[in-house]
A and B are shown apart, each in its own frame.
Chain A
């Protein structure tokens, strides 16, 4: 799974820590999400998508 979190985060001028505080997780979790090493819950995916102003399917890309 790949994510566009890093790219969209930069577009909104948010640091990893700021995004982590907005969605209520650790900065470490955002790091692992951006690396594609963590599969978030639906709620967390929804919260991140809401903060970054995109849909969930625009944020996460699955290799089919």
Chain B
């Protein structure tokens, strides 16, 4: 079932609706948890996280609903791109950790594990996303 809003066609099949439903539940749950932050401090952290996750999921569901179902198939080319990007991102993460380690040794940066954790997480995540875009755009696979 496709509904047109202006010139945008939005699919309303059960997969899309399920995704919208989960995102709305996440937002509502997060908002409810935020109301208890005065009583339970960590509720603010979890509640905020759930609201943010819900908003991101809602936007993703909206983008997915505007594409035809055939564009969302994970075919062999998409799988190959994901694997290639993942492999390259792995080496980039190793390189980032190595650079952090030697920078700490040489310049006594007093780097702690909690400082490295978020850096490595973002380096890995964004490497994978950027590399997926790069391999999808033009290189021969």
Contact = CB atoms under 8 A, between A and B. Distances in A.
Query: Interface on chain B toward A: helix, strand, loop, or mixed SS?
Result: loop
Classify chain B's interface size. Answer: 10 to 19
Contacts of B7: none
A53 interface: no
A37 B138 contact: yes
18 contacts: A17-B70, A25-B75, A26-B70, A26-B73, A26-B75, A26-B77, A27-B71, A28-B71, A28-B77, A29-B75, A29-B76, A32-B77, A32-B141, A36-B140, A37-B139, A37-B140, A39-B140, A39-B141
Given A20-B70, A26-B78, 9 more contacts: A26-B73, A26-B77, A27-B71, A29-B77, A32-B141, A37-B140, A38-B77, A38-B141, A41-B76
Nearest to B139: A37
Nearest to B136: A28
Interface of B: 68, 70-71, 73, 75-78, 138-141
